[in-house]
């Protein structure tokens, strides 16, 4: 028997009335409620009052709550779904994130009942299936009777346990990754004699100390051949030639290795290699996934890529390097060509917005675009999943929803636009950029409505006329450019595509329309023979770069049939918080500012959109974090494995560093040394830790199979860029000059380095895909390198490999005999002489097989793709 709880007479009465009504109306057949019967019989004097609301709760409501609801809505959960707790009296009364779920006495207004009835598509509970009608009726009755909850308060006076929130800001400020960094004393080791002999750089002491703690020794230094190969691949992505290897092996200078590193760092190929690493983080791509009417490809994106390569080659300090990508236009004395850096934002992925869609749909799509920027900056530059705070305060990290929208506001205040290469006056620069976008959308609208007038052709025709006129007016306002900057004028003029208006048919239903061709950016004329291999959406040599201009974007839905993007030059937009990212229910407006947990003092952004403020804050307020994140990335690119195994998540859900002191010390000294990557490369590559052999060792395998402690160098395989480049290079086919623009990688005549190949977000090249190139839609923390049979089909059967083998066969044609040819091929491909056994195998094969087939076999071996 359930306990009967004392209840107010008023509630009893209400319940009795409700029940009586239900029973009288036949909604609740008594027979269906076996539990009631004994009660009804027991208290015959007041038959209907016997079913007290508290009783109703215990019999009908609580069992359902326990069985169906507590799984997700319990105070015992870390984060109850929707913030709703149903296993406490206070929780049930308070409701969830969406407000109260009960209106006592009014079932129709109670969200709880709405959810149970499954009438609304987005509010249906329990998710496992609708309750039986009798159960729902019981809830309805119970609410009508005042929703009496007879449970005792958890603790009198104590507040009900609030649903667990993420880390609060104050605790957040103490998070390890946000703490200042300073150079640390060299750690103590026990085996000092060994340490003195083994260590070469400060890094080594940190590594050795940890190894010692785990009773492991480092591996001996790798042999000279491996060293030069490792370092060359590391810094330039290319293997050394046989002659280079021999010279290095023979070099008796104790500084030979140091000189090698310096030489490699000075090579222009260094920027091609390390620039490409950065492009993974910067999610570099040359188009949009769909490249539809309003998100066409980025024909000048390659200029951003080239800037990255050049900047890395010039060892631009990392802080400046990042700042330029966010706000080069705000940095004093920036040479014009450095504005190419803004391609980081200017060629970021955006979504197609069909402006016939409603305001809410369009606003959602544009906020998705801003979200992409917040994510790229958050994870890419700060190592924080700020994007998680889009719908609600971050569940784990000290990042508030208002922080998210404070950053999103920055990106709501910029517009992507091409910027002329020519050094033009600042105001003209901005005017031109915004005009390109306004013209683009006016032209888009005029042509769209002309091509697809829909069911209101007269109205559409009027709009076509209106937008065409507006477009022509705007275009003509820039006519002054025709003399001074003809290329700018031509570009604008090309954007303003006047629609070819067809005469209106008399009967609307008979109008035959064809979908309009998507308005494209100005036609790109192939300037040279290379153009042919650029394929669709090809790169352009026109003198522009993808960039951004400060202009707030609002979505204007005042016309019921057409949504318009309202771009206002130099007017930044503070965003409303959008709970659950729902644009239809905006919350409070938040000022653009830096993340609360990282800010020192008032961090409100005051310059234009706030890009420069953001960039500055990243390196002032969160300098230690930014330094740790980048040092960890660079470490990973050198060693194949990071110190923090989640390179783009330094929050509470990320991993802790394997060597925290080493990371901090290196980060501190990275900052002290002017954020110089080349300094960091030397520091790492000159270390004994880096120079270790990578051979497996039984003791190491047993104690630390994943080599977290670095008891050996990690053996790796080449990524796709290095693999393709080396195949070309070993065959003597590589064109080492930077490729103009961007070329299709599949084109047989494309012999440039892979970094210059076209990167499409819509249709990624198959070979790039095969070899784990990251999705250029999102900032990539690191590459997951896989081994698949499809890769081996490429190796065994592709024309690319065949062409390399044929080139090699030609090169050794004049060698005296098969034995000489084999030796020659070994030197060219593997940089070494064949062993006796290898020579035997080769000669046996060549009894029947051709030299070309043999060359391809060598190219296909593990040794070519392996990076020990």
Partner 1 sequence: MITKKYSRRELVSQLTGGLGAVGLAGMFSEDSWAAAAKAGAGATQKQVPPPQVKFPNFPPKAKANIVLFMVGGPSQLDMFDPKPALLKYQGQRPSSVDLRTERTTGGLLPSPFEFKQYGRGGVHVSSLLPNLASVIDDICVIKSMYTYNPTHTPARSLFHTGNIAATRPSWGSWISYGLGSENKDLPGFVILSPGGGGGGFGRSGFLPARHQGTFFDDSMVEPDKMIRYLQNKDLDKEKQRTQLDLIQALNQEHEQSFGQDEYLEGRIQSMETAYSMQFAATDAFDIRKESEAMRESYGDTPFAHGCLLARRLVERGVRTVHVYYGPGQPWDDHSKINKNLTERCPDMDKASAQLIRDLKQRGLLDSTIVTWGGEFGRTPVSESGDGRDHNPYGFTMWMAGGGVKGGMAYGETDEFGFKSVEKAVSIHDLHATMLNQMGVDHKQLTYRYAGRDFRLTDVYGEVVRDILT
| 92 vs 389, beta carbon nearer partner 1 | 389
What tokens appear for 442 in the block? 């006016």
**Binding residues for partner 1 restricted to 513-532, rule: CB under 8 A:** 513, 515
Question: Least CB distance from residue 829 to partner 1, whole Å?
Answer: 11
Burial class of 845 by CB neighbour count within 10 A (0 to 12, 13 to 18, 19+):
middle
User: Residues 760-779: x/- map of binding to partner 1 (CB under 8 A)?
Assistant: -xxx--x--x--xx-x-xx-
User: Which 8-state DSSP code applies to residue 756?
Assistant: G
Q: How far is the CB of 468 from partner 1 (least distance, A)?
A: 19
Residue from 335, 339, 351, 349 nearest 304 by CA:
339
Say whether residue 561 binds partner 1 (CB under 8 A).
yes
114 versus 763: smaller Cβ distance to partner 1 = 763
Least Cβ distance, residue 78 to partner 1 (angstroms) = 13
Sign of the CA dihedral 631, 634, 636, 638?
A: negative
Applying CB under 8 A, among 57, 139, 274, 794 the residue interacting with partner 1 is 794
Q: Which of residues 49-88 bind partner 1 (CB under 8 A)?
A: 71
Cα(416)–Cα(548) distance, rounded to whole angstroms?
A: 4
Q: Residue from 421, 428, 734, 860 that binds partner 1 (CB under 8 A)?
A: 860
Four-CA torsion 373, 378, 380, 384, nearest 10 degrees? -150
Residue with smaller CB distance to partner 1, 262 or 863 = 863
Question: Which residue number, 477 or 844, has a Cβ lying nearer to partner 1?
Answer: 844
Q: Considering the complex, what minimum distance in angstroms separates the CB of residue 208 from partner 1?
A: 23
Q: Which of residues 305-324 bind partner 1 (CB under 8 A)?
A: none
Are 56 and 78 contacting, i.e. CB atoms less than 8 angstroms apart? no
Binding of residue 856 to partner 1 (CB under 8 A): yes
Q: Which of 19/446 has CB closer to partner 1?
A: 446
Residue 484 touches partner 1, criterion: CB under 8 A:
no
Q: Please write down the long-range contacts of 462-466, taking CB distance under 8 Å and 24 or more positions apart.
A: 463/562, 464/499, 464/501, 465/501
Figure out which of the listed residues 25, 128, 528, 814 binds partner 1, where binding follows CB under 8 A: 128
Among 22, 292, 337, 735, binds partner 1 (CB under 8 A): 292
At 99, phi and psi to the nearest 5?
105, -175
Q: Is 129 in the site for partner 1 (CB under 8 A)?
A: yes
Interface residue with partner 1 among 516, 747, 841, 843 (CB under 8 A) is 841
- Looking at the Cβ atoms of 404 and 489, the one nearer to partner 1 is 404
For partner 1, the binding residues in 450-479 under the rule CB under 8 A are 452-456, 459-460
What three-state secondary structure class fits 640? coil
Query: Which CB atom, from 109 or from 786, has the smaller least distance to partner 1?
Result: 786
**29 vs 220 by CB, closer to partner 1:** 220
| Residue burial 68-81, b: 16+ Cβ < 10 Å; e: rest | bbbebbbbeeeebb
When the beta carbons of 522 and 651 are compared against partner 1, the nearer one is: 651
Binding region for partner 1 (CB under 8 A) out of 1-9, 287-295, 546-554, 616-624: 287-295
Which of 67, 63, 35 minimizes the C-alpha distance to 51?
35
* Closest distance to partner 1 from the beta carbon of 363 (Å): 12
> Which stretch in 58-66, 371-379, 531-539, 730-738 sits in contact with partner 1 by CB under 8 A?
371-379
**Strand order across the beta sheet in which 544-559 lies:** 414-420, 544-559, 562-569
The partner residues of 96 in beta bridges, in order of sequence, read 99
Q: From CA 284, how far away is CA 308, in angstroms rounded? A: 10
What residues does 593 pair with on adjacent strands? 604
Window 689 to 708, contacts with partner 1 (CB under 8 A): 695-696, 706
Which three-class secondary structure state does DSSP give residue 103?
A: coil
Q: What residue has token string 């002329």?
A: 420
Q: Which is nearer to partner 1, 110 or 353 (CB)?
A: 353
Q: How many Å apart are CA 570 and CA 433, to the nearest integer?
A: 12
Minimum CB separation of residue 506 from partner 1 in Å reads 12
Element (H, E) at 141: helix 133-144
Q: How far is the CB of 794 from partner 1 (least distance, A)?
A: 5
Strands 575-576 and 589-590: antiparallel
Q: Rounded to a whole number, what is the distance in angstroms from the first to the last CA of the chain?
A: 74
Judged by CB under 8 A, does residue 857 bind partner 1? yes
- Piece in contact with partner 1 (CB under 8 A), picked from 145-153, 387-395, 662-670, 727-735: 387-395
We find the least distance from the C-beta atom of residue 657 to partner 1, in angstroms, to be 17
User: x/- contact string, 239-278, with partner 1 (CB under 8 A)?
Assistant: ----------------------------------------
Measured from the CB of residue 515, what is the shortest distance to partner 1 in angstroms?
Answer: 7
Shortest spacing between CB 834 and partner 1, in angstroms: 9
Per-residue tokens: 441: 């959308």
Q: Closest Cα partner for 324 from 303, 348, 307?
A: 307
Q: Which is nearer to partner 1, 247 or 357 (CB)?
A: 357
Q: Which is nearer to partner 1, 436 or 754 (CB)?
A: 754
Residues 423-452, interacting with partner 1 (CB under 8 A): 452
CB 400 within 8 Å of CB 393: yes
Q: Cβ closer to partner 1: 570 or 863? A: 863
Closer CB to partner 1, 572 or 834, in the complex: 834
Q: How far apart are CA 284 and CA 357, in angstroms?
A: 29
Which residues ranging from 603 to 622 are in contact with partner 1 (CB under 8 A)? none
* Of 211-219, 354-362, 465-473, 728-736: span binding partner 1 (CB under 8 A): 354-362
Interaction between residue 583 and partner 1 (CB under 8 A)? no
> Which secondary structure element, helix H or strand E, spans residue 867, and what is its range?
strand 866-867
CB closer to partner 1 out of 90 and 225: 225
| Site stretch for partner 1 (CB under 8 A), options 271-279, 604-612, 664-672, 758-766 | 758-766
Specify whether the CB–CB gap between 500 and 450 falls below 8 A: yes
Q: Which of 253, 425, 427, 510 is in the footprint of partner 1 by CB under 8 A? A: 510
Give me the torsion for CA of 710, 711, 714, 715, rounded to 10°. Answer: 180
Q: Which residues contact 36 (CB under 8 A, 6 or more apart)?
A: 30, 51, 59
User: Can you tell me the distance from the alpha carbon of 350 to that of 368, in angstroms, rounded to the nearest whole number?
Assistant: 8
- 362 touches 374 (CB < 8 A): no
70 in Cβ contact with 85 (< 8 Å): no
747 lies in the site for partner 1, by CB under 8 A: no
Give the Cα separation of 39 and 59 in Å (integer).
12
836 binds partner 1 (CB under 8 A): no
Question: Which residue, 73 or 202, has its beta carbon nearer to partner 1?
Answer: 73
Residue of 611, 115, 70, 647 lying closest to 326 (CA atoms): 611
CB nearer to partner 1: pick between 416 and 493: 416
For residue 679, state whether it binds partner 1 (rule: CB under 8 A).
no
Number of chain residues interacting with partner 1 (CB under 8 A): 103
Placement of tokens 């015959």 in the chain: 44
């Amino acid at each position: 028997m359930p306990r009967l709880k004392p209840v107010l007479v008023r509630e009893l009465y209400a319940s009795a009335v409700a029940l009586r009504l239900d029973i009288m109306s036949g909604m609740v057949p008594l027979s269906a409620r076996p539990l009631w019967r004994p009660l009804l019989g027991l208290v015959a004097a007041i038959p209907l009052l016997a079913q007290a609301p508290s009783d109703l709760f215990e019999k009908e409501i609580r069992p359902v709550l326990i069985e169906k609801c507590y799984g997700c809505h319990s105070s015992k959960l870390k984060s109850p779904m929707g913030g709703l707790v149903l296993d406490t009296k206070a929780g049930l009364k308070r409701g969830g994130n969406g407000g109260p779920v009960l209106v006592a006495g009014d079932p129709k207004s109670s969200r709880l009942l709405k959810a149970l009835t499954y009438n609304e598509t987005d509010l249906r509970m329990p998710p496992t299936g609708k309750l039986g009608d009798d159960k729902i009726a019981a809830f309805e009755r119970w609410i009508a009777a005042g929703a009496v909850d007879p449970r005792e308060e958890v603790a009198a006076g104590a507040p009900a346990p609030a649903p667990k929130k993420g880390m609060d800001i104050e605790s957040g400020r103490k998070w390890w990754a946000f703490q200042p960094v300073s150079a640390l004393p060299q750690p103590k080791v026990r085996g000092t004699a060994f340490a003195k002999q083994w260590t070469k750089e400060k890094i080594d002491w940190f590594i050795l100390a940890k190894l010692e703690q785990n009773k492991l020794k480092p591996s001996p230094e790798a042999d000279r051949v491996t060293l030069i190969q490792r370092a060359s691949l590391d810094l330039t992505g290319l293997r050394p030639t046989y002659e280079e290897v021999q010279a290095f092996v023979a070099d008796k200078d104790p500084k030979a290795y140091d000189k090698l590193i310096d030489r490699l760092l000075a090579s222009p190929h260094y920027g091609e290699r390390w620039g490409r690493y950065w492009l993974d983080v910067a999610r570099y791509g040359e188009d949009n996934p769909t490249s539809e009417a309003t998100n066409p490809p980025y024909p000048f994106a390659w200029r951003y890529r080239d800037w990255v390569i050049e900047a890395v080659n010039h060892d631009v300090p990392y802080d400046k390097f990042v700042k330029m990508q966010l706000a080069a236009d705000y940095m004093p004395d920036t040479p014009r060509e450095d504005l190419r850096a803004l391609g980081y934002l200017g060629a970021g992925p955006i979504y197609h917005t069909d402006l016939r869609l409603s305001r809410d749909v369009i606003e959602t799509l544009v906020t998705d675009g801003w979200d992409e920027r917040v994510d790229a900056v958050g994870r890419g530059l700060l190592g924080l999943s700020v994007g998680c705070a889009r719908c609600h305060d971050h569940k784990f990290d000290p990042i508030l929803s208002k922080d998210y929208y404070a950053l999103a506001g920055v990106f709501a205040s910029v517009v992507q636009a091409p910027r002329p290469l020519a050094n033009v006056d600042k105001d003209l620069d901005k005017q031109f950029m915004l005009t390109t976008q306004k013209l683009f959308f006016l032209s888009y609208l005029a042509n769209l409505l002309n091509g697809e007038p829909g069911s209101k052709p007269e109205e559409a025709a009027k709009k076509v006329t209106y937008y065409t006129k507006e477009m022509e007016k705007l275009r003509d306002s820039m006519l002054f450019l025709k003399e001074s900057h003809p290329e700018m004028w031509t570009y604008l003029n090309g954007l303003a595509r006047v629609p070819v208006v067809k005469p209106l048919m008399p009967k609307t239903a008979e109008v035959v329309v064809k979908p309009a061709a998507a308005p494209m950016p100005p036609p790109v004329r192939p300037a040279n023979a290379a153009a042919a291999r650029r394929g669709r959406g090809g790169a352009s040599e026109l003198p522009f770069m993808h960039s951004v201009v400060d202009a707030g974007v609002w979505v204007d839905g005042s016309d019921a049939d057409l949504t318009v993007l309202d771009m206002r030059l130099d007017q930044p937009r503070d965003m409303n918080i959008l709970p659950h990212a729902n644009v239809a229910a905006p919350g409070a407006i938040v000022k653009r500012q830096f993340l609360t947990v990282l800010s020192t003092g008032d961090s409100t952004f005051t310059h234009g959109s706030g890009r420069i403020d953001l960039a500055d804050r990243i390196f002032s307020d969160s300098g230690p974090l930014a330094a740790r994140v980048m040092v960890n990335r660079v470490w990973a690119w050198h060693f194949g494995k990071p110190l923090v195994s989640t390179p783009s998540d330094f929050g509470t859900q990320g991993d802790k560093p394997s060597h925290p002191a080493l990371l901090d010390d290196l980060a501190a000294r990275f900052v002290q040394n002017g954020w110089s990557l080349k300094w960091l490369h030397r520091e790492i590559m000159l270390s004994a830790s880096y120079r270790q052999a990578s051979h497996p060792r039984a003791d190491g395998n047993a104690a630390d199979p994943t080599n977290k402690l670095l008891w050996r160098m990690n053996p790796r395989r080449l990524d796709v860029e290095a693999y393709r480049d080396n195949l070309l290079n070993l065959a003597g086919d590589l064109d080492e000059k930077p490729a103009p623009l961007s070329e299709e990688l599949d084109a047989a005549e494309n012999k440039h380095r892979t970094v210059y190949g076209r990167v499409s977000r819509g249709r990624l090249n198959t070979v790039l895909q095969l070899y784990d190139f990251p999705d250029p839609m999102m900032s990539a923390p690191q590459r997951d390198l896989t081994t698949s049979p499809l890769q081996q089909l490429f190796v065994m059967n592709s024309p690319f490999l065949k062409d390399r083998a044929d080139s090699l066969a030609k090169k050794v044609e004049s060698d005296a005999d098969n034995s000489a040819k084999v030796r020659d091929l070994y030197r060219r491909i593997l940089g070494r002489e064949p062993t006796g056994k290898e020579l035997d195998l080769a000669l046996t094969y060549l009894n029947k097989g051709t030299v070309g087939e043999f060359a391809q076999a060598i190219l296909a071996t593990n040794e070519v793709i392996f990076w020990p």
